[in-house]
């Protein structure tokens, strides 16, 4: 398997407004209720194997979780499916940008 691409939270913050980039938060419902990055799509990690077929292969995806471990697993899975995907290292614990409460 190829290496997993990692982006720092600062790198994610600087590119997240790009129309061809979609952030995906893989945390559980109770975690995202505490706040998530604006415009991120919420797909819990357990739903990724069923939901990935609905994702656009032409987009770049950045996976996010609390600390970076679950999103790393989701990144590896989507990469195996042929997606252009990166993991946000450190997860929401390292995120200094704004969050929205859903």
Per-residue pLDDT of 8-43, as tens digits, reads 999 999 999 899 999 999 999 999 999 999 999 999
Structure-block tokens of residue 20: 């061809």
Q: Which has the closest alpha carbon to 33: 4, 69, 66, 75? A: 66
pTM for this model (two decimals): 0.95
Task: Judge whether residue 4 has pLDDT over 90.
Answer: yes
Q: What is the pLDDT of residues 35-88, one digit of tens each?
A: 999 999 999 999 999 999 999 999 999 999 999 999 999 999 999 999 999 999
Q: Report the share of the chain in percent with pLDDT over 90.
A: 91
Catalytic one among 65, 74, 78, 88? 65
**Annotation says 65 is catalytic:** yes
Strand order in the sheet with 5-7: 5-7, 84-88, 60-64, 21-25, 41-42
Judge residue 80's burial from the number of C-beta atoms within 10 Å of its C-beta, 0-12 exposed, 13-18 middle, 19 or more buried: exposed
């Amino acid at each position: 398997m190829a290496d997993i691409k990692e982006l720092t939270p600062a790198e994610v913050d600087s590119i997240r407004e790009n129309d061809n980039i979609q952030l995906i938060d893989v945390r559980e419902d109770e975690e995202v209720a505490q706040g998530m990055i604006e415009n991120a799509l919420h797909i819990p990690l357990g739903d990724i194997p069923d939901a990935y077929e609905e994702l656009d292969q032409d987009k770049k995806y950045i996976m996010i979780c609390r600390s970076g471990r679950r999103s790393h697993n989701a990144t590896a899975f989507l990469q195996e499916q042929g997606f252009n995907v990166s993991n946000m290292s450190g997860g929401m614990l390292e995120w200094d940008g704004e969050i929205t409460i859903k």
